[in-house]
Amino acid sequence: DAKTTQPNSMESNEEEPVHLPCNHSTISGTDYIHWYRQLPSQGPEYVIHGLTSNVNNRMASLAIAEDRKSSTLILHRATLRDAAVYYCILMETSGSRLTFGEGTQLTVNP
Amino acid sequence: EPEVTQTPSHQVTQMGQEVILRCVPISNHLYFYWYRQILGQKVEFLVSFYNNEISEKSEIFDDQFSVERPDGSNFTLKIRSTKLEDSAMYFCASSEWGGNTEAFFGQGTRLTVV
C-alpha cells in the first residue's frame, strides 16, 4: 500500500475551521484517498473519500491537490465532538483492506 | 441509522481457550471485515469476507483464526487457543460493496487473555 504522512497532532478552537493535511507522494493513479476518524474508545468512523476532484459531504470537505500528492481534510466548524484521531488512507480501486497509520490526533479547545 | 453491532463488549478468557466474537453487520451489506487494535497501537486489518468466503487476509490471520457467517445475519471471528498477545480490541466492519465504499465499524469487543 502506498504510504501517507500526517502530522502527529493538531489543535483547533471550537467553531473554527480545521485543515488536516496528508502527504501521499507515491500515490498511484488508481488509489482513492479515504479519511476515517476514531473517537476515544470507539471504532473507526468513515469521514469522506475521493479520487481526483474535491468532495463535500455533511461531515467534511476533501481538497485534493492537482498532482494528487497531497490532500486536506477540512472540518468547517470544529466542535468538541470532533476531537479524534484522523486517518488518511490510500486504497486501490479493487482493494478491500484499510491500512491505518498513526493518524493525526486532533484536539479541539473550547 | 443502521449500525454494526458486536457482542460481547468485553470478553475475558484464559490463555489456551477458544473464543468466538460475534458481529451483526448492516443488513444489506455484502462485505464483512475484522480488524484489531492492540492497546496504544494502530488499527490492523485481519480479514475480509465476501460471498461466504475469505477474499483477503493479513499475515496476522493465521491458522489460529477463522471466520464464519453461520446464518443470514451473524458474522463471527473464532480464535482457537488464545495467547496473551491476542489481547486487543476487535472491530467488525461491513460495507455495501467492496473496494472504495464506506465501511461501517462496530463499537468493538475488548478481548483480554489472562
Using one digit for the tens of pLDDT, what is the confidence trace for B43-91? Answer: 999 999 999 999 999 999 999 999 999 888 899 999 999 999 999 999 9
Chain A closest-CA separation from residue B43 CA (Å):
6
Cα of A50 to nearest chain B Cα, Å: 9
pLDDT for position B8 = 97
CB atoms within 10 A of CB B87: 18
In tens, the pLDDT along A15-37 reads 999 999 999 999 998 899 999 99
Beta bridge partners of A50: A33
**Contact status of B61 with chain A (Cβ, < 8 Å):** no
pLDDT tens digits along B12-50: 999 999 999 999 999 999 999 999 999 999 999 999 999
- Confidence band for A1, pLDDT divided at 50, 70 and 90: low
| A31-55 mean pLDDT | 95
pLDDT at site B1: 80
| Residue A5: pLDDT over 60 | yes
Measured between CA atoms, how close is A41 to chain B, in angstroms? 8
Whether residues B100 and A49 touch (CB distance < 8 A) is answered with: yes
Q: Does B108 touch chain A (CB under 8 A)?
A: yes
Residues of A in contact with B105 (CB under 8 A): 43-45
User: B4 pLDDT exceeds 90?
Assistant: yes
* Residue in A with minimal Cα distance to B95: A96
Q: What pLDDT does A2 receive?
A: 64
Percent of the residues in chain B that have a pLDDT greater than 90, as a whole number: 87
3-state secondary structure chain A: CCCCECCCEEEEECCCCEEEEEECCCCCCCEEEEEEEECCCCCCEEEEEECCCCEECCCCEEEECCCCCEEEEEECCCCHHHCEEEEEEEEECCCCCCCCCCCEEEEEEC
CB-CB contact of A103 with A34 (8 Å): no
**pLDDT digit string (tens) for A51-102?**
999 999 999 999 999 999 999 999 999 999 999 999 999 988 777 789 999 9
